[in-house]
Amino acid sequence: GPPPRPGAGGPQRPRGTSAAVRPERAPGPQAVAWQVSVALLVAITVSAWGLHVLLAGMAWIGAVVVTASIALGAAAGLRTRTRNRVLPPLAGIGALTLAVTAVFGQGTTPLVVIPTFDTIARFVALTQEAQASIYRQAVPAVAEPSIIFVLCLGVGILAVLCDFLAIALRSPALVGIPLVAVLAVPAFTSPGSTDPVVFVLAAVAYLAVLLAGRPQRQPGIAAGIAASAIVGALLVPAVLPEIDDVPDTLPGGVSTGVNPVLGLGDDLRRSRERTALTYETASGEGHYLRLVTLEDFTGDAWQPTDRETDTANDVQRFVAAPGLDDDVPRAEETSSIDVRRLTSTWLPLPYPPTSVNGLDSDWYWDAETFATSAPDDTASGQDYVVESAILQPTPEQLLAAGSSQAPGLEAYLALPDDLPAVIAETGASIAAQSGTDYERAIALQEYLRSSEFRYSESAPVEGDYDGTGMDVIAQFLDVRAGYCTHFAGSMAVMARTLGIPSRVAVGFLPGSPESNADGREYFEVTTHDLHAWPELYFDGIGWIPFEPTPGRGELAAYADVAAEGVPDPPAEDEQVAPTPTPDVAAPEDEAPVDPGALDGDVGSATQEDSTLSRTVLIVLALLGMSLVPALVRASQRWRLVTRLRAGEASAADAWHEVMRTAVDHRVAITHTTTPAQTAAAIGVGGRHLGVLLDAVEREGYAATTLTRPGDLVGDVTAVRRDIAAAASTRVRLLAVVYPASLWRTIAHPLTREE
Per residue in 483-531, pLDDT (tens digit) is 888 999 999 999 999 999 999 999 999 999 998 888 889 999 988 888 9
Contacts of 134 (CB under 8 A, 6+ apart): 141, 147, 246
| C-alpha–C-alpha distance, residues 226 and 180, integer Å | 12
Categorize the per-residue pLDDT at 78 as very low, low, confident or very high, splitting at 50, 70 and 90.
confident
**Residue 409, SS3 per DSSP:** coil
In the predicted model, what is the mean pLDDT of residues 631-656?
84
pLDDT at res. 457: 74
Per residue in 349-378, pLDDT (tens digit) is 999 999 999 998 899 999 999 999 888 788
430 vs 743, residue with greater confidence:
430
3-class SS string, 342-383: CCCCECCECCCEEEEECCCCCCEECCCCCCEECCCCCCCCCE
pLDDT at res. 217: 45
Burial of 385 (0-12, 13-18, 19+ CB in 10 A): middle
In the predicted model, what is the mean pLDDT of residues 79-96?
87
Half-sphere exposure of 235 (CA within 13 A, CB side): 19
Q: How distant, in Å, are the alpha carbons of 140, 306, 527, 600 from that of 263? A: 11, 20, 12, 20
Torsion angle, alpha carbons of 26, 31, 36, 38, to 10:
-170
Mean pLDDT over the full length of the chain = 78
Categorize the per-residue pLDDT at 613 as very low, low, confident or very high, splitting at 50, 70 and 90.
low
Amino acid of residue 591: A
| C-alpha–C-alpha distance, residues 419 and 423, integer Å | 7
Categorize the per-residue pLDDT at 533 as very low, low, confident or very high, splitting at 50, 70 and 90.
very high
Categorize the per-residue pLDDT at 448 as very low, low, confident or very high, splitting at 50, 70 and 90.
very high
Percent of the chain with pLDDT over 90: 31
What does residue 415 show for φ and ψ, rounded to 5 degrees?
-140, 150
Q: Are 567 and 426 in contact (CB under 8 A)?
A: no
pLDDT at res. 219: 47
| C-alpha–C-alpha distance, residues 68 and 56, integer Å | 20
Q: Which of 125-139, 410-424, 425-439, 445-459 has the lowest mean pLDDT?
A: 125-139
Contacts of 725 (CB under 8 A, 6+ apart): 684
pLDDT at res. 364: 94
Categorize the per-residue pLDDT at 664 as very low, low, confident or very high, splitting at 50, 70 and 90.
confident
| pTM of the predicted protein model | 0.51
What does residue 364 show for φ and ψ, rounded to 5 degrees?
-135, 145
| C-alpha–C-alpha distance, residues 241 and 690, integer Å | 54
pLDDT at res. 235: 46
257 vs 307, residue with greater confidence:
307
pLDDT at res. 252: 45
> Which of 178-182, 445-449, 659-663 ranks highest by mean pLDDT?
445-449
**Residue 525, SS3 per DSSP:** strand
Instruction: Report DSSP state, residue 314.
Output: B
Per residue in 3-33, pLDDT (tens digit) is 444 444 444 444 444 444 444 444 444 546 7
